[in-house]
Amino acid sequence: MHANQTLPQGVQPGEISFVLGHPDRQALPIEALHEAAMLALEEPLRPLEYGPEGGDPELLAFLRLWHRQREGLDLARNQAMLIAGATQGVDLVARLLLAPGETVLVESPTYKDSLLIFRDQHCKLHGVKMTPEGIRPSDFETAIQDLTAQGERPRLFYTIPNFQNPTGWSTSLARRKTILKIARRHGILILEDDVYREIAFGAEPPASYFALAGGEGVIRLGSFSKTLAPGFRLGWLLAAPAIIERIQACGTAQMGGGANPFSAAVVAAYCRTAHWEDHIQRLRSIYRTRCETALAALARHMPAGVEWTRPQGGFFLWITLPESMETANLQDRFAVRGVRVAPGAQFCTPPEAGVRCFRLAFSFASLDQLKEGIRLIGEALAEG
């Protein structure tokens, strides 16, 4: 198959890009998806016509089974729907459940495209500092109290609990439980963006906020982008039935006939025939090796004073430079060496909190590119 002919969005010819969290091309199950597409077209009306508002029933049934088998999570039919990627889920929640001007609590740093969506919907953002075990419950509570005292009671907490983008850190089970209690006490909805859950290098992630909450007060997003292929633009949203109903009643859901019926039919055919468990184990091994390679190269090439995270899963590393350096001033030095990273400020709330940081995606570049690119970053930093 033609896996290497084109460059993905944002990657220039000849450069080593650690900017975007694209899946490794070797991780795309191209042959199996080819077969799945042929199989889906054997019943051509289903993928080619509008579908039900909630999405393809066979794929939803597979997702309910998957959550039961892997997490012991029983989902009712009216607690799950398909969406056009987790990103659309963030957009739907911000657009339909928040009023313009309402305040959203976010981890700082966090996934920058979600920040863009909240800004698009005219939400105010308030960052709570991330740590290796997630945000501190005491920081969360203080932020809520301070904002409430200023007449800005927050409505939503957006979190990436597993192998967070951009730090790679996960929120511990103990913190999830305490944060959930605090959120409940203050009537704050939790939006749990869980797209990296399956990309665990070691132990399985703890129970989701959604499971801990018994499905009330939490909306959870999942995606096929990181495990199958981002081009499907397909994910799922789990929530209380009243929220699912509200979302399915919106104009785009009513007209759209469910998220991406063609993609959903192909993915459903893949799920019917393929071996998910083997595929997931293969992905874990691919990304674990990449992460280990990146960590070894950082240990070898970073000058004193540079710090980095040690993720247990996912696609990203977060790097913090010494006090004397700012990422913005280094971009030219990286560029002449043909290396690109994602500057930290865009992930942070406020942005100033990230000026000494950058994100390094280890998911897409080859092992040789990881070694060479990190050597070149070390060389640029050593210039002082």
Binding residues for ligand PLP restricted to 309-328, rule: CB under 6 A: none
Compute the least distance from the CB of residue 230 to ligand PLP, in Å.
5
- The per-residue DSSP string of 311-367 comes to -SBSSEEEEE--TT--HHHHHHHHHHTTEE-EEGGGGSSSGGGGTTEEEEE-SSS-H
Residue 334 vs 347, nearer CB to ligand PLP:
347
Name the segment binding ligand PLP (CB under 6 A); options: 60-68, 223-231, 258-266, 327-335: 223-231
* CB < 8 Å & 24+ apart, contacts of 328-334: 328/355, 330/380, 330/381, 333/380, 333/383, 334/376, 334/377, 334/380
Q: What is the CA radius of gyration of the chain?
A: 21
Binder among 52, 129, 178, 230 for ligand PLP (CB under 6 A): 230
Binder among 47, 217, 235, 311 for ligand PLP (CB under 6 A): 235
Compute the least distance from the CB of residue 221 to ligand PLP, in Å.
7
Compute the least distance from the CB of residue 266 to ligand PLP, in Å.
16
Residue 261 vs 376, nearer CB to ligand PLP:
261
CA separation for the pair 162, 154 (Å, rounded): 23
Planar angle of CA 148, 152, 155, nearest 5 degrees: 90
Helices 241-248/86-97 angle, 10° precision: 90
Planar angle of CA 114, 208, 250, nearest 5 degrees: 50
Chain position carrying tokens 């740590």: 131
- Contact mark string toward ligand PLP, 5..24, x via CB under 6 A: ----------------x---
Tell me the two tokens of residue 167.
């730090």
For 123, residues 6+ apart whose C-beta sits below 8 A from its C-beta are: 94, 98, 100, 101, 102, 103, 104
Task: Tell me the residue type at 243.
Answer: I
Residue 85 vs 354, nearer CB to ligand PLP:
85
Binder among 53, 107, 192, 193 for ligand PLP (CB under 6 A): 193
Residue 220 vs 301, nearer CB to ligand PLP:
220
Compute the least distance from the CB of residue 314 to ligand PLP, in Å.
8
Residue with nearest beta carbon to ligand PLP: 85
Binding residues for ligand PLP restricted to 346-365, rule: CB under 6 A: none
Binder among 18, 29, 64, 87 for ligand PLP (CB under 6 A): 87
Residue 27 vs 302, nearer CB to ligand PLP:
27
CA separation for the pair 177, 175 (Å, rounded): 5
Compute the least distance from the CB of residue 337 to ligand PLP, in Å.
25
Binder among 108, 223, 260, 349 for ligand PLP (CB under 6 A): 223
Residues forming a β-bridge with 281: none
Residue 21 vs 55, nearer CB to ligand PLP:
21
Cβ proximity of 302 and 341 under 8 Å: no
Residue 302 vs 311, nearer CB to ligand PLP:
311
Strand order in the sheet with 342-343: 307-308, 316-320, 357-361, 342-343
Binder among 85, 109, 205, 343 for ligand PLP (CB under 6 A): 85
Residue 327 vs 363, nearer CB to ligand PLP:
363
Binding residues for ligand PLP restricted to 149-168, rule: CB under 6 A: 160, 165
* Neighbour count for residue 242 (Cβ, 10 Å): 10
Cβ proximity of 219 and 93 under 8 Å: yes
Name the segment binding ligand PLP (CB under 6 A); options: 80-88, 171-179, 276-284, 339-347: 80-88
Binding site for ligand PLP (CB under 6 A): 21, 85-87, 111, 160, 165, 193, 195, 223, 225, 230, 235
